[in-house]
Chains A and B, each alone.
Chain A
Amino acid sequence: AQSVTQPDIHITVSEGASLELRCNYSYGATPYLFWYVQSPGQGLQLLLKYFSGDTLVQGIKGFEAEFKRSQSSFNLRKPSVHWSDAAEYFCAVGGSYNTDKLIFGTGTRLQVFP
């Protein structure tokens, strides 16, 4: 079955600390992987995506993610977190035919302390 697992429901970090949000996927074909961010009352904003090529992808707002096929993982990282990064983060997987039909994880809520 196709699925996305985000093991951490809630993460708290101090401003300036590094961040890693975990994402594991199960997908029968070549996965197209995404990270989205959702602030309260807002829709989803695409942070970055991986289709093929370099397994380390750069996104907006200083985020990056690394695709590891052997571990079925696509973890999101940021070297130094800002208070404005506090939000809900969703990992998603789509198929090569249609990347709009996404399967999302349950999300990780990030809280940032000053």
Chain B
Amino acid sequence: SQQGEEDPQALSIQEGENATMNCSYKTSINNLQWYRQNSGRGLVHLILIRSNEREKHSGRLRVTLDTSKKSSSLLITASRAADTASYFCATEGNSGYSTLTFGKGTMLLVSP
């Protein structure tokens, strides 16, 4: 079963605008990760936030994590056309071996 659920399913913005995607999950986690997938390609790891962290930055990316609400958000600032892709959150549980459970993704379209 899917652990994460991204919201919205699709997002269309203009270049230069900020894009915010949200992810909710159901069970306790060790960490939460965000991935990008360009059409027809493999997934690329963007950023990882541990369960004891609340916010993390990487370049134009900002991720927040609220474990009490079991939710995370990914903010992409000053979007570019090259940011057009699908974005997935994935959670790693805190029991057993390390495996990722993915949400269904948000499709982001950035228009020039």
| Pair from one complex | no
Chain B positions within 8 Å of A, measured between CB atoms, are none
Chain A positions within 8 Å of B, measured between CB atoms, are none
